[in-house]
Amino acid sequence: MKSISRNVFLILLLLTAFSVLFANRNVPLSTVDGQRCLTIAEGMIRTGDYLSPVLGNEILLGVPPLCYWFIAGAIQIFGSGDLAVRFPAAVMSLLTVILTYVSATKIWNERIGFWAGMILSSNLLFFHVSRISVTDTTFIFFFTGILLCFMQGCYWLMYVLCGFALLAVGIIGLLIPMTVILLYLFFVDRISRLGEMHIIPGIIITIGICFPWYLMMIELHGTDFLSAVFRYNVLLESGASKALNVWWLHILILLAGMFPWTGLLVKSMKDGICESRSTDLKSNIFLQLWFLISVLFFVFLQVSKANMLLMVFPAFSMLVSWNMERMIREDKGHFTGWAWETVSVYFIVSSILIVGGQNFPEITFGTTILGILLILFGGGVGAALLIYKDGILAAFLQAGTGYAVMIILYYFLLPVALPHYSFSDIVKLFF
């Protein structure tokens, strides 16, 4: 059934709101680029100049303003402070989950849509990014929207989102999704589909949305602005860590960030090709191209801003959800691969927590408890799949794992650890 159920929608909305707002302030704003965004937005309000983002005495030529407009609007509502930065990030994350749910429902059915939203809202990287960066979450929302609109043939809405993407993150907001779309049309679908996409009117719509700001900036700053537009890349802006500028570490972050769904992701990458019917194969290839092209851009551009890897997680979530529904429908209770891969990942993560936590005396007890809890959850998932043959129960246990980890991590462990260690310190000592 491809219709949207009000009750399912509300349940997902409430769970996602909980995941993005719970203990939101326990990650200090000073550890992220939020303070920079807040300063720029406050400057816009103080000077009344909403055209040119300014940091200190420097005009940030080429930096699109939409994210700072969001923060400025939040300041007008909530006042200046952490909430003004965190609230827009939470809203954009919430909208990305809802967009994923609606799109997967329209492409397949509501059960796949619901679990796609649940998977996206219950993994580690989503918990982290949705709390700290409005620039990253805004980029991810428009990036996701463009690609999902293409998948559904909603071309007019796609062009509207393209216009706002240019106002939010600049040219890179179109470059990556358009590369995915063109490669898909050339090698998988049919290039003649371009004729159905109303390209000329679409370009007019896109330009009509973003052109006024670009025109006014050209009038103010001339060729310096144009040069800066082509140099600016949100993937490379401040907040990145040089320690992450290694291709294999991106893969490690993707796998770790997808927890507790990592084991099922690995299986779904294979099953998305090998177990697809012809009607699903094109959609699954598109989702895998989404992942592959995005990672290649990260490697080619030497991107070290790990938060942006969340851009592939809507594709991951839809692929995993599709495979879960397929296994429940077709495998008739034979969930051995799902069980062993998931339980193995749980065991590895619990071992890292118990052993690696010894390097942090302040939180050793907490990481040990969390590690033991993951062993119990992993055992529950294994029992649900191998003994009770119940894939739905296993999926709920995995989602429950994600929320339990979030509560313990953000409410108990990070408030104790962050006064003594930075995020990079924690990553280095654990891995």
Sign of the torsion formed by the C-alpha atoms of 354, 355, 360 and 364: positive
CA 385 remoteness from chain centre: 28
The DSSP result for 159-220, as a single string, is: HHHHHHHHHHT-THHHHHHHHHHHHHHHHTS-GGGGGGS-HHHHHHHHHHHHHHHHHHHHHH
Distance of CA 190 to the CA centre of its chain: 29
Q: Which residues pair with 55 in a beta bridge?
A: 58
Measure the CA–CA gap between 169 and 172, rounded to whole angstroms. 7
Mean pLDDT per segment of 10 residues, for the chain of length 431 residues?
A: 86 92 66 75 89 84 88 88 82 95 95 96 89 82 96 95 92 91 91 88 95 90 82 55 61 90 93 85 94 85 72 96 94 89 95 87 89 96 95 96 91 78 55 44
Measured in whole angstroms, the distance separating CA 419 from the mean position of its chain's CA atoms is: 27
Q: Is 183 exposed, middle or buried (0-12, 13-18, 19+ CB in 10 A)?
A: middle
The pLDDT of residue 252: 85
Check: CB of residue 424 under 8 Å from CB of residue 253.
Answer: no
- pLDDT value of residue 430: 47
Q: Which of 107, 72, 94 is nearest to 18 (CA)?
A: 94
For 318, other C-beta atoms within 10 Å of its C-beta total 32
Return the pLDDT at 240: 46
Furthest-apart CA pair in the chain: how many Å? Answer: 69
pLDDT at position 411, please?
84
Q: What is the pLDDT of residue 307?
A: 75
H/E element holding 20? helix 6-21
Q: Where are the domains of the chain?
A: 6-234, 332-431
Question: What's residue 424's pLDDT?
Answer: 57
